[in-house]
Amino acid sequence: MTDSPLQIADRDAVRTITIDRPDKLNALDSATLDALHAAADAAAADPSVRAVVLTGAGSKAFVAGADIGEMAALTPAQGRDFALRGQRMMRRFEKLPKPVIAMVNGFALGGGLELAMCCHLRIAADTAKLGQPEINLGLIPGFGGTQRLLRLAGRAAALELCLAGAPIDAARALQLGIVNRVVPAADLEADTMTLATQLANAAPLALRGILDCINVGGEAGIEEGLEYEAAQFGLVFSTDDMREGTEAFLCKRKPTFRGR
């Protein structure tokens, strides 16, 4: 569809989802939130997709935030519904059974940082700026920013970013653990696709088990997390991929994983 806010492209087993609103710095309005949720569902259901890259169109912004023009007219009840809509979409990506990489190519502010944080891994260009500036609009983060910053970067950093509302550069974001890697802007796409291809070639059921374990462990106590990990560890012994991987290692050859 020509009026879609997204561009979706597949290369081998990697699906790239690009938010395509460069004139709005890829801001998240309701239609884009819904399109992203549908794209996450489609990626989860497609067996040919083994890894997902999420990015924004143009060189200026990953996502510069939620669409302020749309938000300005909302009532309190509508504001809550808008927050829940965004949270549901981001939770869908966070719980996707396939690795999702945020390719942060510019501004990741407000809803943009929240979207990046719901991805499993984040690679940022050295020119990127990240932050939660909602306080400057008399707002607070509504798509999970307070909660994911707290978990990724800790209480002190979460408070600083949300209360001060000032963006930080990619190097500072790396120091705080908000992003996994920072690379030169010219290398961002190539480096991201290299990592995505590496993940796409890994054992899909083991990847899913790892994602599940970390999701559960991040929201549970240590005993519950360990019990869940042991159960998932046992389950992978029933897979052909586990047999292929161990046999390939013993035979000193490269494994071919088929996701079964």
Q: How far is CA 6 from each of CA 9, 33, 172, 232, rounded to the nearest angstrom?
A: 10, 10, 30, 35
Highest CATH level, class, for 6-200: alpha beta
Q: Residue 13 is which amino acid? A: A
Q: Indicate which residue of 134, 189, 229, 244 is catalytic.
A: 134
- pLDDT at residue number 1: 43
Task: Give strand ranges (E) for 57-160.
Answer: 61-63, 100-104, 107-109, 121-125, 129-131
pLDDT along the chain (260 residues), means of 10: 85 96 94 97 97 95 92 93 96 96 97 98 98 96 96 95 97 97 98 97 93 89 91 91 88 87
- pLDDT at residue number 37: 98
Pick the CATH number of 204-251 from 3.20.20, 1.20.120, 1.10.20, 1.10.12: 1.10.12
Q: Indicate which residue of 70, 94, 114, 244 is catalytic.
A: 114
Q: Is 189 a catalytic residue?
A: no
Rounded to two decimals, the pTM is 0.93
Radius of gyration of the chain (CA): 19
Q: Is 229 a catalytic residue?
A: no
Interhelix angle for 76-94 vs 111-118, to 10°? 30
- pLDDT at residue number 11: 95
Give the span between the Cα atoms of 21 and 58, in whole angstroms: 9
Domain residue ranges in the chain = 6-200, 204-251
Give the span between the Cα atoms of 8 and 6, in whole angstroms: 6
Strands 121-125 and 168-169: unpaired
